[in-house]
Amino acid sequence: MTSPNLFQQPTPADTAAVDTAIVTRRSMRAFLPTEVPESQIEEILNVASRAPSGTNTQPWQVHVLTGAARQRLVDRIQAAYLDPAELAKHTEEYAYYPTEWVSPYIDRRRKVGWDLYGLLNIAKTDKARMQAQHARNFQFFDAPVGLIFTIDRVMQQGSWLDYGMFLENVMIAARGRGLHTCPQAAFTQFHRLIAEELQLAPSQMVVCGMALGHADPAAVENSLLTERAAVAEFTRFYRD
């Protein structure tokens, strides 16, 4: 990769390409079996590694699963998720969501859930189909590439902010190559199984998973377009 001119003004085409990659990034929940070359995964991660981090600590560690390695992890977690007694043994290692929900967050959470289930014709009372849909998380939604992200336990909240920027870079770099992703916090519940399967050092903590591949354009769930608040709702300008 050649070094870009950092001080050259982007062309309108450059701006449009970046904006398109950002606004077309969605969490896809159905993928085609089309393989993604390892060289392309390396390209994505190389670009993503330019994410900023405090004092250049670069706290991210990435575990790429394809083929049989991916399937072994999928099988182990699926078996645990579908067995009530085994599922009860697995809990998240960190709190992703608040312990007490308030508006507008709970309203947004409920809406996206029911919007998705509505597309899939899953009724609010159909617990079995809800469970089956949630289980698809642990198949990486059939994506041929599963990514597991870990961080060293010594790192603190600032490094988790840095990590989020790295994850976004992964997703945007993937879009720039015609690929789609789905970031998946659901995997954190099974951090012990992941640690065993990937032989993680005790110092490593699972941050999340991510599906990577070619989205299935025929899958109705991939038509979900989540709403975003207007800029005026979350921004204040101070002029004087």
pLDDT tens-digit readout, 33-69:
999 999 999 999 999 999 999 999 999 999 999 999 9
**pLDDT at res. 135:** 94
Q: What is the mean pLDDT of the chain?
A: 96
Pick from 198, 206, 145: nearest CA to 171: 145
Topology of domain 27-225 in CATH is NADH Oxidase (3.40.109)
Are 30 and 215 in contact by the 8 Å Cβ rule? The answer is yes
**pLDDT at res. 2:** 65
The single-letter code of the amino acid at 217 is P
Two tokens at 231? 């800029």
DSSP type of residue 223 = G
pLDDT tens-digit readout, 10-38:
999 999 999 999 999 999 999 999 999 99
Residue 182, beta-bridge partner list: 211
Are 175 and 25 in contact by the 8 Å Cβ rule? The answer is yes
Give the whole-angstrom CA distance, residue 59 versus residue 207: 11
Give the whole-angstrom CA distance, residue 160 versus residue 166: 10
Name the strand (E) or helix (H) holding 1.
none
- Each domain of the chain, given as residue ranges in start order, spans 27-225
For the chain, the helix, strand and coil percentages under 3-state DSSP, each to the nearest 5: 50, 15, 40
**pLDDT at res. 5:** 83
